[in-house]
Amino acid sequence: MMDAIERIIAERACERLILDYAAAIDAADWDTVAALYVASGRMSRPTAPDDFIEGRDAILASFCARPPRTTRHICANIRVTLLDADNATASSQIMLFTASDQPPLVGSYADVMVREDGTWRFVERRGSLDFI
């Protein structure tokens, strides 16, 4: 059983994971992005919510294959639910700005997270667009 302080620390670590992910993508730091997943983690982009990329190596390869672009992700409404001391789910909204003529995209993420060797990582990130 977690006490209140342990719960707050775990929730904050999960929130930070989501924010670090956005910052690493905006920095085009693909190695860091991939390292935020467990080895068998999977993700889907908000533009393709049912098309999962499976495994840390495949996630890294998918980001490395993207054409360079300048982005800024704004994360909001992050809600973490601790299932126990080492497992959590989270939801968040995201706004994506790109240095292009494209209008900003508004989407959501549904996350599954695990604490592995003391570090929180994504097991799954499922993105979706809220407005198309």
pLDDT of residue 100: 84
Q: Give the pLDDT score at 102.
A: 87
Q: What is the pLDDT of residues 84-123, one digit of tens each?
A: 999 999 999 999 999 888 899 999 999 999 999 999 999 9
Tokens of 107: 């989407």
- The tens digit of pLDDT for each residue in 2-38 reads 899 999 999 999 999 999 999 999 999 999 999 999 9
Provide the greatest CA pair distance for the chain.
Answer: 50
Q: Measure the CA–CA gap between 6 and 73, rounded to whole angstroms.
A: 29
Q: What are the structure tokens assigned to 50, written together?
A: 């049912």
pTM for the model stands at: 0.95
- Domain spanning 4-129: CATH 2.60.40.650: no
Q: What is the per-residue burial (b if ≥16 Cβ within 10 Å, else e) of 96-132?
A: beeeeeeeebbbbbebbbbbeeeebbbbbbbbbbeee
